[in-house]
Amino acid sequence: MEGSKALWASKTVWGSVAVLIVAISQVLGYDIGDASGWTEGIVAVLGSAFAIYGRIKAVKKISK
């Protein structure tokens, strides 16, 4: 891997953050509106897919 990049520039980190937010909101029982429960699932799937894509495409390490 060449060089490094900031934590906020990582697709893997952003995808993981999206999944984490969904998981925490479900545990805390937050109601995000009239979505019938499917919105959280969609965001979790998209966040996971983005994290996996980011990990596959990564060419730089995340700087500390």
pLDDT digits (tens, 9 = 90+) for 2-58: 578 887 878 888 888 888 887 788 788 876 666 566 777 787 788 888 888 888 888
Q: Higher pLDDT residue, 62 or 34?
A: 62
Please return the burial class of 47, using the count of CB atoms within 10 Å of its CB with bins 0-12, 13-18 and 19+: buried
Q: What pLDDT, on a 0 to 100 scale, did the predictor assign at position 33?
A: 61
Q: Does 1 have pLDDT greater than 60?
A: no
Contact (Cβ atoms closer than 8 angstroms) between residue 22 and residue 44 = yes
Report the alpha-carbon distance of residue 56 to residue 34 in Å, rounded.
35
**Which residue, 12, 14, 15, is CA-closest to 55?**
12
First CA to last CA distance, the chain: 15
Is pTM, for the whole model, over 0.75? no
